[in-house]
Amino acid sequence: MELIGKRLQDDALHWSRSFKETSAESNLFIDNWKYIIAGFVFQYIHGVAARGVHYLHRPGPTLQDLGFFLLPELGQDKAYISETVFMFVFLSFFLWTFHPFVFKVKKFYTVQIWCRVLAYLVVSQTLRIFTFYSTQLPGPNYHCRPGSKLARLPEPDGVLEVLVINFPQGVIYGCGDLIFSSHMIFTLVFVLTYQKYGTRRCIKQFGWSIAIIQSLLIVASRKHYTVDVVVAWYTVNLVVFFVDKKLPELSGRTNGSSLILLPLSTKDKDKWTKEENHKLLNGNSVNPADRRPRSQSNGKNLEDVNINQVDTSMNSTP
């Protein structure tokens, strides 16, 4: 009976934590739904842009490539390997971002982390669109080579045909959107995000290993030229670096307050600094609950946010 009673108590605590977590995440989503929706809408815009450049693609001889020289060609029948690795990375990261709903120890809110991830993706994909529309290279993939029926799309009958993405065939068999690799954008964004907000060192090391393996598989599968992968590596890292400098650090889970997702204005930062200095000069302490991450002109935080603390209001026993 004692074992049954303990099990029922644990279940009650679990559902209580889940309810509180859902309530907090719902409030955050209400405050920030515009950023979430905008990020997902841009995924569609990116897909339309990739389909549009397919109409401009002109198949031709495969360009000379160092990666093609060094890595043996996997063959058309093994092209699924790189896609399988990518889906593993995508699903693993997606499930990890929702772990605050399940586990007691939490470092972030799911809404907050996806707002940041979508910001990384939107900036990276915007640069990608400008890049592959600037110059169209002959695709090295098998369905993009001369003689393939999929290498060129027939002239569209209207705008609607361009706007309708044939998913997933239109994504898998696209041509022309080469520089830089979209698969590597997602992979690197996910790995960099876990590197910053994850807790397991072994998983961080495993993530970087998977990113390197994914890079080699993409080239060996002849889905991209080596330059497409190389450009993705330094571009995404720079995008994440500058976005993090522009946006404030994700707040800890100590007060349950909503995250400020947009950059703070200089006027607001100066106002808060003056108010805190005035309180200190008068012998009054500054209320920590009123303090939020502020960025200097060089992008460094004026205060360290302890993201390792547990949200006591969420996880305390009722």
Low-confidence ranges of the chain (pLDDT < 70): 1-17, 104-105, 167-170, 251-318
- CA 93, 94, 100, 103: dihedral to nearest 10 degrees? -70
pLDDT at 120: 97
Q: What is the Cα gyration radius of the chain?
A: 24
Q: What is the pLDDT of residues 261-313, one digit of tens each?
A: 444 444 444 554 555 545 544 545 444 444 444 444 444 444 344 434 434 44
**Catalytic position from the list 57, 224, 244, 311:** 224
Q: What value, to the nearest 5°, has the Cα angle with vertex 129 and ends 128 and 130?
A: 90
228 in catalytic set = yes
11 in catalytic set = no
CB 256 within 8 A of CB 314: yes
> Which sign does the torsion angle of CA 7, 10, 15, 16 carry?
positive
Q: What is the pLDDT of residues 99-134, one digit of tens each?
A: 877 776 677 888 999 999 999 999 999 999 999 999
**Catalytic position from the list 46, 54, 57, 183:** 183
Q: How far apart are CA 81 and CA 75, in angstroms?
A: 11
Neighbours of 76 (CB within 10 A): 12
Question: Across the strands, what pairs with 94?
Answer: none
pLDDT at 275: 56
Considering only CA atoms, which of 213, 208, 181 is closest in space to residue 195?
A: 208
| All residues at 6 or more sequence positions from 232 whose CB lies less than 8 Å from its CB, including other chains | 180, 181, 184, 185, 188
Q: Which pTM does this prediction carry?
A: 0.75
**Domain boundaries in the chain?**
2-246
Cα distances from 72 to residues 69, 85, 216, 218, 307, in angstroms, run 7, 18, 10, 12, 44
183 in catalytic set = yes
